[in-house]
Structure 1
Amino acid sequence: MSGHPAEPWRVKMVEPLRATTREYREQAIRAAGWNPCLLRSEDVYVDLFTDSGTNAMSDRQWSALMRGDEAYAGARSFYVLEEAVRTHYGYEHVIPVHQGRGGENILSRCLLRPGTHVAGNMYFPSTRAHQELNGATFHDVIIDEAHDPDDEHPFKGNVDLGKLKVLIDAVGAGTIPYLSIAATVNMAGGQPISVANLTEVAELAHHHGIPVFLDTARAVENAWFVKQREPGWADRSITDILRALCAPTDGAVMSAKKDSLANIGGWIGLRDPELAEQARGLVLLYEGLHTYGGMAGRDMEAIAQGITESVDEDHISARIAQVEYLGRRLHTAGVPIIRPVGGHCVCVDATATLPHIPRTQFTAQTLAAAVYLDAGIRGVERGGVSAGRDPRTGENRFPPLEFLRLAIPRRVYTQSHIDLVADSVIRVHRHRDRITSGLAFAYEPSHLRFFQARFAPVRGTSIWD
């Protein structure tokens, strides 16, 4: 018995994968500037770079594509999406965008001005980039436990109300246009926020006239953790809990490429009709008409169907179980990971795995390259590279956590693939002393540098001895 539940789906179509040799992968990662993001997908055997847009759609979603209404204005497919969002998330005004960061851009342009401040439960690179480009300063008010990879706190995504109060007193409520709260915190390893904490955060913010906006990209996973861990919610449905998470907030930005099992798309959900009208005006400039927001009608149909499937308890329980299985295998083998295991990913603590590689040599980026070299597995760095530079000082930012994120796409990989990943990461960990060089920038973009940066080994021509 493996302790892993059978997947609640069966394979209907396959995509061939190509195994490569160690020598081939060495050439590929060199050509990619030691950045797994720049690899060609055909050179990757198991791709855990992200769970965003990499999900397998169901037969019902593929059927929904055929119902897409491609009218430029007022397409029927928009109203199908609108009804799905209203039903499951509870926001009255639904504005489609091409993906989550399109929504981040619109919200930032609507509300932020130079000198303003945004507080949230840990940063996310694209979200903070939009905030800073519009003149705001981001403040992390997450609980301290979130920065400790070994802490088993069940809701490491919670906001520290004391930190939030200090910030409001220090800068003044009038300079905080909104709070940016994530349901499951990506940069903490997919850690959830409790309904109780989010409700208290909203009460405090609203007392000071500050709206609260929720990143709902993985809110269904957050709802699952609430059901399992938060007292009083065990007998509630995932649909009920999802509505309860959204209820205290004033709006949301959604990347439908995550929970909603789609390959593209997103939306902004709002309660304030005036803000909604302002957002629609900017969507016209940056995304497309307000009834398609950069998406085809077929994409909106697939998202609407995906929303319905996302809250199915057989689906979400199996999804979380697959992630937990990988985490359990690594933890049992002594690989240091962020605990507890999050909703969409398993995160290997790079500083604990490679203590001999200084953070100035981008420890997690080095580990990501090593895991690719070993078995063709692509993960992504989350640490000094992702954090970028302070816009005021120009210095590299080094957040408390430095890890390799292994994000698992939904309904894509079997247990055999997950076992292959576990075997590889365990093997790299056992031979970690052979990783003798970190990395330095050979090319550094101005924004979101982890996507396009190129690196070179600090010593010699390879990171391995």
Structure 2
Amino acid sequence: MKTIIEPFRIKMTEALPLTARGDREACLAEAGHNVFLLDADRVTIDLLTDSGTGAMSDRQWAAMIRGDESYAGSSSWRAFERTVREITGFRHIFPTHQGRAAERILAATRLRAGDVVPNNGHFDTTRANIEYVGAQAVNLPCEASRDLHAPTLFKGNMDVAALERLLDSESGEHVPFCMITVTNNSGGGQPVSLENIRAVRSVLDRHGKPLIIDACRFAENAFFIHENEPGQARNSLLEIAQEMFSLADGATMSAKKDGLANIGGFLACHDDGWADEFRNLLILTEGFPTYGGLAGRDLEAIAVGLMEALDPDYQRYRHATVEYVAGALTALGVPIVQPAGGHAVFLDAAAFCPHLAPRDYPGIGLVNALYVEGGVRAVELGSVMFGARGADGSETPAPHELVRLAFPRRVYTQSHFDYVVETIAMVHRARDAIRPHRIIRQAPFLRHFTARFGPA
């Protein structure tokens, strides 16, 4: 059959808030023109993030009833540990309340001021946790990623030659580990090939450096590999995931993505010394190592969700949904990152709003226009989120000005996405009216979450 249907049926519904345009304009103004500060009950279609916003399955809800809330050594912890170890193979596994907690523990124990951490593309919390301890987050995306509109496969890859040059330079002495983010969220949700991970591993081995995988969308990345990398179609998604993790020394994970859960994550490694440091800080800030800030029911939901994310029928439906929206927008002439990513469609805000310079924050203008037009909430991935600020207050723009429409898992139907496409089309037709914005107030880290803006 040509039609790819949702591999589930709906047994409970939740009403969507339907608001008037005037109400949305008032809400946005009250929120300081920052959609992060909107009340969710004023948003009709919420594509702000795919993190923790998915719908859990009946098997996950059933598993939650079995949740063992013992403080130490619960049966829910054992179920969680078995599943994570089956997928990743890591010796030491530590649950955390979400991915950024794993990043914070990693940064606090393994980094010091002056260190350099290369990655194919640090996302916002990873970068912030690295910079918070005085280290430097360096992005080394592959050459193909620079052309947003070319339909090149595996544009999430790391530039292996650039990594080699970094490690051969004086800065190489200050690299305690390298990271790879799968899929590459900051680069348009683009996948990383096994070939590229192997090549990175080979370079790191020559220099004696460990590799950490930011694994929050590992299953989506495995599906891209299965579908597009030569010789991988015969392997299951679990087998591909196992090979990815076998090339790493550790991993951070937000289970709010490919764990299909509303909360949770983990930090994992092989090294006994690292594990001792992780465990000590985990106890201090997250909880006992067998619950790590999570309830037993959360551990159970993640254990089930991690395996459901590796179901090829689920992944086929999810990727078809993203491609459906991407194809509709492309047909309308809306500029998007090509090919479609694994968890989102990324609008090219710079091309969408050619009358706006990076200092005008075109992504913020576009995000706000989408909300006012149709109650659709998206997120800017441009110079607000990823721009660099100097000590003198100067700003260096981000490499790209993007707007991400992240798809919550198992939440919206085709008609919802048709509505999103219609909203974007209406904004695109009136794109010359999108106004520049200025930052009125901002935080020193992760400013996009709480900044307040005003139209310039």
Q: Which amino acid counterpart does residue 243 of structure 2 have in structure 1?
A: A
Take 1:456 and 1:292, find their aligned partners in 2: how far apart are those partners?
43
Q: Which ranges in structure 1 are unaligned for 5 or more consecutive residues?
A: 459-465
Match of 2:120 in 1: 121
Take 2:78 and 2:437, find their aligned partners in 1: how far apart are those partners?
49
Is the counterpart of residue 31 in structure 1 residue 37 in structure 2? no
Match of 1:412 in 2: 411
Take 1:32 and 1:416, find their aligned partners in 2: how far apart are those partners?
28
Q: Which amino acid counterpart does residue 257 of structure 2 have in structure 1?
A: K
Match of 1:434 in 2: 433
Take 2:223 and 2:395, find their aligned partners in 1: how far apart are those partners?
36
Superposition deviation, residue 276 in structure 1: 1.1
Identity %: 44
Matches within 5 A, 1:157-306: 157-306=156-305
Deviation sequence 1:213-259 (CA, Å, 0-9, x none): 00110010000100111111011111111111111100100000001
Match of 2:450 in 1: 452
Given that residues 387 and 399 in structure 1 are in contact (C-alpha distance below 8 angstroms), is that contact kept between their aligned partners in structure 2?
Answer: yes
Given that residues 91 and 269 in structure 2 are in contact (C-alpha distance below 8 angstroms), is that contact kept between their aligned partners in structure 1?
Answer: yes
Tell me the TM-score normalised to structure 2 length. 0.98
Take 2:391 and 2:444, find their aligned partners in 1: how far apart are those partners?
13
Superposition deviation, residue 172 in structure 1: 4.7
Matches within 5 A, 1:74-85: 74-85=73-84
Take 1:218 and 1:349, find their aligned partners in 2: how far apart are those partners?
22
Superposition deviation, residue 96 in structure 1: 0.5
Q: Which ranges in structure 2 are unaligned for 5 or more consecutive residues?
A: none
Matches within 5 A, 1:389-408: 389-390=388-389, 392=391, 394-408=393-407
Deviation sequence 1:71-99 (CA, Å, 0-9, x none): 11111111110000011122121100000
Match of 2:47 in 1: 48
Superposition deviation, residue 400 in structure 1: 1.5
Superposition deviation, residue 391 in structure 1: 5.5
Take 1:172 and 1:40, find their aligned partners in 2: how far apart are those partners?
45
Match of 2:139 in 1: 140
Superposition deviation, residue 311 in structure 1: 0.6
Take 1:348 and 1:91, find their aligned partners in 2: how far apart are those partners?
37
Q: Which amino acid counterpart does residue 447 of structure 1 have in structure 2?
A: F
Take 2:171 and 2:367, find their aligned partners in 1: how far apart are those partners?
41
Superposition deviation, residue 104 in structure 1: 0.3
Match of 1:90 in 2: 89
Given that residues 4 and 322 in structure 1 are in contact (C-alpha distance below 8 angstroms), is that contact kept between their aligned partners in structure 2?
Answer: no
Given that residues 388 and 447 in structure 1 are in contact (C-alpha distance below 8 angstroms), is that contact kept between their aligned partners in structure 2?
Answer: no
Match of 1:443 in 2: 441
Instruction: List structure 1 segments (4+ residues) > 3 angstroms apart after TM superposition.
Output: 388-394
1:94 partner SS: strand
Superposition deviation, residue 139 in structure 1: 1.5
Q: Which amino acid counterpart does residue 291 of structure 2 have in structure 1?
A: Y
Take 1:443 and 1:231, find their aligned partners in 2: how far apart are those partners?
49
Q: Cα RMSD between the aligned structures?
A: 1.2
Tell me the TM-score normalised to structure 1 length. 0.96
Match of 1:461 in 2: none
Deviation sequence 1:125-162 (CA, Å, 0-9, x none): 11011111112112211112212211222011111111
Point out the more displaced range, 150-159 or 213-222: 150-159
Rate the CA distance shift 1:241–1:331 in 2: closer, same or farther, 3 A.
same
Match of 2:72 in 1: 73
1:385 partner SS: coil
1:262 partner SS: coil
Match of 1:463 in 2: none
1:153 partner SS: coil
Q: Which amino acid counterpart does residue 170 of structure 1 have in structure 2?
A: S
Deviation sequence 1:9-36 (CA, Å, 0-9, x none): 0001111112111111111111111111
2:251 partner SS: strand
2:388 partner SS: coil
Is the counterpart of residue 377 in structure 1 residue 376 in structure 2? yes
Deviation sequence 1:369-391 (CA, Å, 0-9, x none): 00001100000000000014336
Take 2:258 and 2:424, find their aligned partners in 1: how far apart are those partners?
26
Take 1:348 and 1:356, find their aligned partners in 2: how far apart are those partners?
16
Q: Which amino acid counterpart does residue 318 of structure 1 have in structure 2?
A: Y
Take 1:130 and 1:206, find their aligned partners in 2: how far apart are those partners?
25
Superposition deviation, residue 166 in structure 1: 1.1
Given that residues 4 and 321 in structure 1 are in contact (C-alpha distance below 8 angstroms), is that contact kept between their aligned partners in structure 2?
Answer: no
